[in-house]
């Protein structure tokens, strides 16, 4: 009798806690819901004295207009291509050095690693000025090389892979060596596949960071047709700041790729993040 009472009390508590958690989650994502909903309303309705907080979706014009008004598709593709190239390179390089720092022994390894981690502490504004001066002198301004090359080595990425690769048993590498596999072979056919989760986690974080990048592309890219989407959004907002319908539509679309990528790789991403903490 008492145990059944306790169980039903547990059920009520569980339902209540779940309700509270979902209520909090809804509050958290209200800005998305509001923006997405409003992106289907004409600007006059968004600005008007609407009775409801969420305008009724009535039109798809906003989405049609952003292409003709600021060449949205072009900027989207630019961002997608540059972010993809950066992601592939950074993940590969991080995995490579994660392997080196996790599985090789050499004099000063730990000192070098600590030094590398210390570069994470260097504020970006300190590096930014000399780097932009360098880009001008290398004549990389207005090329995607300037967006890709200066940040290829990611200390955080190397750290993530080092953590994951230390967990790979040494016996596995030993037996591969006995079978005649070289280091490059071991890296490509054992380490990388075994660290799939970390690859996913770092890939998502890197893609997000590239998709996010604002000031550096703004400074480096002068040709508007080569510009990144984040910068384009901000410039569009400066020029057509009152076309809220268009801005809502463009921003909704700018958020979308990350959500899709996360939805596709969610499980591995979470696993990869968890692995990095152990």
Partner 1 sequence: MTRSDASRPTPARSGTQSHDVASGLGARARRLFTFRRCALTLLAAYCAVFFVYPIGRAFVGALQHWNPATGEAYWIGLANFRRIFADPLFWSSCGRTLVYALGATGLRLIIGLALALLLSSKLIHGRNALRSLFFLPSLTPIVAVALMWGWMFDPGFGLVDRLFGLTTGWLHDPVLAGPTFIGLTVWKDFGYAMLLYLAALLNVPRDLVDAAHVDGAGALQTFRYVTLPAIRPMTWYLAVVSLIGYLQMYVPIIVLTSGGPGDATTTVGYLIYRQAYKLFDFGTASAMGVVMLAVCAAIAAVLLRLTKRGEGERR
Length of the chain as a residue count = 278
- CA-nearest of 147, 164, 162 to 89 is 147
Looking at 1-9, 69-77, 192-200, 233-241, which segment touches partner 1 (CB under 8 A)?
A: 233-241
Query: If binding means CB under 8 A, how many residues of this protein chain bind partner 1?
Result: 89
What is the nearest approach in angstroms of partner 1 to the Cβ of residue 206?
13
Nearer to partner 1, 199 or 216 (CB): 216
Question: What x-and-dash track marks residues 110-149 binding partner 1 by CB under 8 A?
Answer: --x---x--xxxxxxxxxxxxxxxx-x------------x
Task: Answer yes or no whether residue 244 interacts with partner 1 by CB under 8 A.
Answer: yes
Task: Tell me which of 6, 8, 18, 239 binds partner 1, using CB under 8 A.
Answer: 18
Question: Rounded to whole angstroms, how far apart are CA atoms 162 and 94?
Answer: 9
**What residue has token string 């690859």?**
199
Task: Tell me which of 233, 243, 245, 249 binds partner 1, using CB under 8 A.
Answer: 233
Nearer to partner 1, 64 or 115 (CB): 115
Cα atoms found within 13 Å of the Cα of residue 203, Cβ hemisphere only: 19
Nearer to partner 1, 190 or 199 (CB): 190
Task: Answer yes or no whether residue 153 interacts with partner 1 by CB under 8 A.
Answer: yes
What is the nearest approach in angstroms of partner 1 to the Cβ of residue 270?
7
- On whether the CB atoms of residues 153 and 120 are closer than 8 A, the answer is no
- Phi first, then psi: what are they for 111, rounded to 5°? -65, -45
Task: Tell me which of 6, 8, 22, 57 binds partner 1, using CB under 8 A.
Answer: 22
Task: Tell me which of 97, 144, 161, 265 binds partner 1, using CB under 8 A.
Answer: 97
Task: Tell me which of 7, 25, 179, 225 binds partner 1, using CB under 8 A.
Answer: 25
- CA-nearest of 152, 169, 148 to 96 is 152
What is the nearest approach in angstroms of partner 1 to the Cβ of residue 250?
9
What is the nearest approach in angstroms of partner 1 to the Cβ of residue 149?
8
123: left (phi over 0), alpha (psi -120 to 50) or beta: beta
- On whether the CB atoms of residues 213 and 78 are closer than 8 A, the answer is no
Question: What x-and-dash track marks residues 33-72 binding partner 1 by CB under 8 A?
Answer: -xx----------xx-----x-------------------
Task: Answer yes or no whether residue 152 interacts with partner 1 by CB under 8 A.
Answer: yes
Angle (CA) 146-149-150 rounded to 5° is 85
Ranges within 203-232 binding partner 1 (CB under 8 A): 208, 211-212, 214-215, 219, 230-231
- CA torsion sign for 124, 127, 131, 133 is positive
- On whether the CB atoms of residues 164 and 275 are closer than 8 A, the answer is yes
- Phi first, then psi: what are they for 255, rounded to 5°? -80, -30
Task: Tell me which of 84, 85, 258, 268 binds partner 1, using CB under 8 A.
Answer: 258
What is the nearest approach in angstroms of partner 1 to the Cβ of residue 137?
9
Question: Rounded to whole angstroms, how far apart are CA atoms 278 and 82?
Answer: 32
């Amino acid at each position: 009798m008492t145990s059944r009472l306790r169980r039903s009390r547990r059920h009520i508590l569980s339902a209540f806690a779940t309700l509270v958690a979902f209520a909090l989650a809804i509050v958290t994502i209200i800005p998305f819901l509001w923006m997405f909903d409003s992106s289907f309303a004409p600007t006059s309705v968004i600005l008007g004295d609407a009775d409801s907080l969420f305008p009724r979706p009535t039109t798809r014009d906003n989405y049609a207009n952003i292409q003709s008004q600021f060449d949205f598709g072009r900027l989207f593709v630019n961002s997608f291509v540059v972010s993809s190239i950066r992601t592939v390179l950074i993940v590969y390089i991080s995995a490579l050095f994660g392997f080196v720092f996790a599985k090789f022994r050499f004099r000063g390894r730990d000192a070098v690693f600590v030094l590398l981690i210390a570069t994470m502490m260097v504020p970006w504004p300190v590096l930014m000025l000399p780097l932009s001066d360098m880009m001008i002198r290398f004549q990389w301004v207005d090329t995607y090389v300037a967006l890709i090359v200066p940040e290829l080595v990611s200390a955080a990425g190397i750290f993530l892979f080092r953590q994951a690769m230390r967990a790979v048993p040494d016996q596995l590498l030993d037996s591969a060596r006995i079978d005649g596999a070289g280091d490059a072979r071991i890296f490509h056919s054992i380490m990388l596949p075994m660290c799939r989760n970390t690859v996913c986690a770092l890939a998502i974080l890197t893609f997000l960071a590239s998709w996010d990048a604002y000031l550096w592309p703004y400074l480096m890219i002068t040709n508007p047709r080569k510009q990144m989407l984040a910068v384009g959004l901000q410039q569009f907002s400066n020029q057509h700041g009152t076309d809220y319908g268009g801005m809502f539509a463009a921003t909704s679309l700018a958020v979308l790729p990350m959500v899709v990528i996360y939805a596709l790789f969610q499980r591995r991403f979470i696993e990869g993040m968890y692995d990095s903490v152990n």
